[in-house]
A and B are shown apart, each in its own frame.
Chain A
Amino acid sequence: MSGKDMSAYWKANVSLLIKLLIVWFIVSYGFGIILVEPLNAISLGGYPLGFWFAQQGSIYAFLILIFIYAKKMGELDREFDVHED
Chain B
Amino acid sequence: MELQTLTYIVVGLTFALYIGIAIWARAGSTGEFYVAGKGVHPVANGMATGADWMSAASFISMAGLIAFKGYDASVYLMGWTGGYVLLAMLLAPYLRKFGKFTVPEFIGDRYYSQTARMVAVICLIVASITYVIGQMKGIGVAFGRFLEWEYEYGLYTGMAIVFFYAVLGGMKGITYTQIAQYVVMIFAYTVPAVFISLHLTGNPLPQLGLGSTMADGSGTYMLEKMDQTLRDLGFAEYTAMKGTSFNMVLLTLSLMIGTAGLPHVIVRFFTVPRVRDARASAGWALVFIAILYTTAPAVGAMARLNLINTIQTGEIGAAEGNLAYAERPEWFSNWEKTGLLKFEDKNGDGRIQYYDDKNPEFAAKAESYGWQGNEMVKVDRDIMVLANPEIANLPNWVIALVAAGGLAAALSTAAGLLLAISSAISHDLIKGAINPKISEKNELMAGRISMAGAIIVAGYLGLHPPGFAAQVVALAFGLAASSLFPALMMGIFNKKMNDKGAVAGMLVGLSSTLIYIFIYKGWFFIPGTNNLANTPDNWLFGIQPESFGAIGALLNFITAYVVSKVTAAPPDHIQHLVEDIRVPRGAGGASSH
A70 CA to B213 CA, complexed, in Å: 38
Query: Which residues of B are found within 8 Å of A60, using beta-carbon distances?
Result: 290, 294
Query: Which residues of B are found within 8 Å of A54, using beta-carbon distances?
Result: 71, 74, 77-78
Q: Are A33 and B584 in contact (CB under 8 A)?
A: no
Q: A28-B82, A55-B297, A59-B293 are in contact. Are A69 and B211 (CB under 8 A)?
A: no
Residue in B89, B249, B290, B293 with the greatest tally of chain A CB atoms within 10 Å: B89
| Interface CB pairs A-B, < 8 A, 8 | A24-B85, A29-B249, A40-B239, A55-B71, A55-B294, A66-B89, A69-B88, A77-B276
A58 interface neighbour in B78, B245, B587, Cβ under 8 Å:
B78
Query: Which residues of B are found within 8 Å of A82, using beta-carbon distances?
Result: 583-585
Within 8 A of B (CB), among A32-56: 32-34, 36-37, 40, 44-48, 51-52, 54-56
Chain B residues with CB under 8 Å of chain A are 66, 71, 74, 77-78, 81-82, 84-85, 88-90, 93, 207-208, 210-213, 221-224, 239, 241, 245, 248-249, 252-253, 274-276, 279-280, 282-283, 286-287, 290, 293-294, 297, 493, 579, 582-587
A70 CA to B286 CA, complexed, in Å: 13
B85 interface neighbour in A14, A44, A48, A62, Cβ under 8 Å:
A62
Query: Which residues of B are found within 8 Å of A28, using beta-carbon distances?
Result: 78, 82, 252
> A-side binding surface: helix, strand, loop or mixed?
helix
Query: Which residues of A are found within 8 Å of B275, using beta-carbon distances?
Result: 84
Query: Which residues of B are found within 8 Å of A13, using beta-carbon distances?
Result: 582
A47 interface neighbour in B210, B245, B252, B276, Cβ under 8 Å:
B210
A56 interface neighbour in B241, B249, B294, Cβ under 8 Å:
B294
Q: Are A36 and B282 in contact (CB under 8 A)?
A: no
A28 CA to B255 CA, complexed, in Å: 13
Counting chain A residues whose Cβ lies within 8 A of the other chain, the interface size class is 35 or more
A65 CA to B282 CA, complexed, in Å: 11
Given A9-B582, A51-B239, A69-B88, 11 more contacts at CB 8 Å? A13-B582, A28-B252, A29-B249, A33-B252, A46-B222, A48-B239, A60-B290, A62-B286, A62-B290, A66-B84, A77-B276
A33 CA to B243 CA, complexed, in Å: 11
Query: Which residues of B are found within 8 Å of A14, using beta-carbon distances?
Result: 493
Chain A residues with CB under 8 Å of chain B are 1, 6, 9-10, 13-14, 17, 20-21, 24, 28-29, 32-34, 36-37, 40, 44-48, 51-52, 54-56, 58-60, 62-63, 65-67, 69-70, 73-74, 77, 82-85
Q: A29-B252, A82-B584 are in contact. Are A37 and B74 (CB under 8 A)?
A: no
In whole Å, how far is A58's beta carbon from the nearest beta carbon of chain B? 5
Query: Which residues of B are found within 8 Å of A6, using beta-carbon distances?
Result: 579, 582-583
Q: Are B583 and A9 in contact (CB under 8 A)?
A: yes
In whole Å, how far is B21's beta carbon from the nearest beta carbon of chain A? 28
Query: Which residues of A are found within 8 Å of B223, using beta-carbon distances?
Result: 46-48, 51
In whole Å, how far is B217's beta carbon from the nearest beta carbon of chain A? 15
Q: Are A84 and B283 in contact (CB under 8 A)?
A: no
A70 CA to B71 CA, complexed, in Å: 31
Q: A6-B579, A82-B584 are in contact. Are A59 and B280 (CB under 8 A)?
A: no
In whole Å, how far is A54's beta carbon from the nearest beta carbon of chain B? 4
Q: Are A46 and B252 in contact (CB under 8 A)?
A: no
In whole Å, how far is A20's beta carbon from the nearest beta carbon of chain B? 7
A10 CA to B583 CA, complexed, in Å: 8
Q: Are A55 and B585 in contact (CB under 8 A)?
A: no
In whole Å, how far is B549's beta carbon from the nearest beta carbon of chain A? 16
Residue of A nearest to B286 (CB): A63
Q: Are B89 and A17 in contact (CB under 8 A)?
A: yes
Q: Are A44 and B294 in contact (CB under 8 A)?
A: no
In whole Å, how far is A25's beta carbon from the nearest beta carbon of chain B? 9
A37 CA to B65 CA, complexed, in Å: 22
A59 interface neighbour in B212, B245, B276, B290, Cβ under 8 Å:
B290
Residue of B nearest to A56 (CB): B294
In whole Å, how far is B497's beta carbon from the nearest beta carbon of chain A? 15
Q: Are A32 and B74 in contact (CB under 8 A)?
A: yes
Q: Are A59 and B74 in contact (CB under 8 A)?
A: no
In whole Å, how far is A3's beta carbon from the nearest beta carbon of chain B? 8
Q: Are A33 and B77 in contact (CB under 8 A)?
A: no
Query: Which residues of A are found within 8 Å of B82, using beta-carbon distances?
Result: 24, 28, 58, 62
